[in-house]
Amino acid sequence: MKHGFIFTGTDPQLAVELAPLAEASGWDAFFVWEGIWATDPWATLAAAAMVTDRIRLGTMLTPVPRRRPWELAGQTMTVDRLSNGRVILSVGLGVPEEFEPRFWIFEDDPGRKVRAELLDEELELLQPLWRGEPFAYEGRHFHAKRTDSMLPPAIVQEPRIPIWVVGVWPRMKSMRRVARYDGWIPNYAPPGAGIDPNLQQRTYTPEIAAEAIAWIRAEREQAGLAERPFDILHEGTTSGTDAAADAAIVRPWADAGVTWWLESDWNVPADHVADYSRDRVRAGPPRF
């Protein structure tokens, strides 16, 4: 199991301070969050890339349907090159307006169906954009005219920057999207219930994760992708001070097949985020 730390604050200077501290403290990845009218995560990660050598860098997560794919391609390519191939792109549909109106102050939520269409089309379009070669594209929402001039450099990583995708288990259309890419960020919709983040946290268990992971493996094998790396994520909170208690939290997820533990605590008050983040990062990831 690998371990990432998610910085839940908003100060870019603090984030750039924490990234090398996380690297020195044994973490495998450092993530910042991406909002609407917020600190620019990719500018922050570009600065973090210049003060780190090993740790992977990314967002948790990027609401791709809210972005222009050519701009996202340029930002991720830039950080990938600055970091010599250490970027991870975590993607999802974005928070619905009914759960977080703050993210929809500049536009109206077009609905889950349209956001899903945008996500699929933009992920497809990112692939040729990252190669920095002439191409043409025609989709329902986007198009690209072929050009041979002013082409950007290609990304460092092959065959692409790893793409971790939010998928709702057991909704098969959502999960089939996950299986085509490089990692699963789990959401869970209990039978008979909608997609409620609070309900998911109460009802999603390692046993359910293991069931979904087995399905993903079978789906990828059928698609001829079984030999390609694939990550399974779980986000949670450990103390950093009680190794036995922390191990008891993390171990069942590792046994279920989770490959990345993402440490976060979104309930820390804004005026305590700096002290909390420094202390938790310095304590290192939960080990067992």
Go through 111-120 and write b for each residue having 16 or more CB atoms within 10 A of its CB, e for each that does not. Answer: eeeebebbbb
Q: How many domains does the chain have?
A: 1
3-state secondary structure of 187: strand
167 lies in some domain: yes
288 lies in some domain: no
* pLDDT single digits (tens) 232-271: 999 999 999 999 999 999 999 999 999 999 999 999 999 9
Please tell me the distance from the alpha carbon of residue 64 to that of residue 119, in angstroms, as a whole number. 6
Portion of the chain with pLDDT greater than 70, in percent: 98
Instruction: Summarize the confidence of residues 129-158 as an average pLDDT.
Output: 97
DSSP structure string for 12-34: HHHHHHHHHHHHHTT-SEEEE--
> Residue 117 has which token pair?
């269409």
Q: Which residues contact 142 (CB under 8 A, 6 or more apart)?
A: 69, 121, 122, 125
Please tell me the distance from the alpha carbon of residue 176 to that of residue 159, in angstroms, as a whole number. 20
Portion of the chain with pLDDT greater than 90, in percent: 94
pLDDT at 21 over 80: yes
74 lies in some domain: yes
Alpha-carbon 19 to chain mean position: 17
CATH number at residue 194: 3.20.20.30
Pairing assessment for the beta strands 56-59 and 137-138 based on DSSP bridges: unpaired
Q: Which of 164, 173, 180, 259 is nearest to 222 (CA)?
A: 180
* pLDDT single digits (tens) 67-110: 999 999 999 999 999 999 999 999 999 999 998 999 999 999 99
Instruction: Summarize the confidence of residues 102-120 as an average pLDDT.
Output: 97
pLDDT at 193 over 90: no
Task: Provide the domain limits for residue 222.
Answer: 2-283
* pLDDT single digits (tens) 35-77: 999 999 999 999 999 999 999 999 999 999 999 999 999 999 9
pLDDT at 196 over 80: no
3-state secondary structure of 260: strand
Residue 136: pLDDT band by 50, 70, 90 thresholds?
Answer: very high
26 lies in some domain: yes
104 lies in some domain: yes
pTM of the entire structure?
0.96
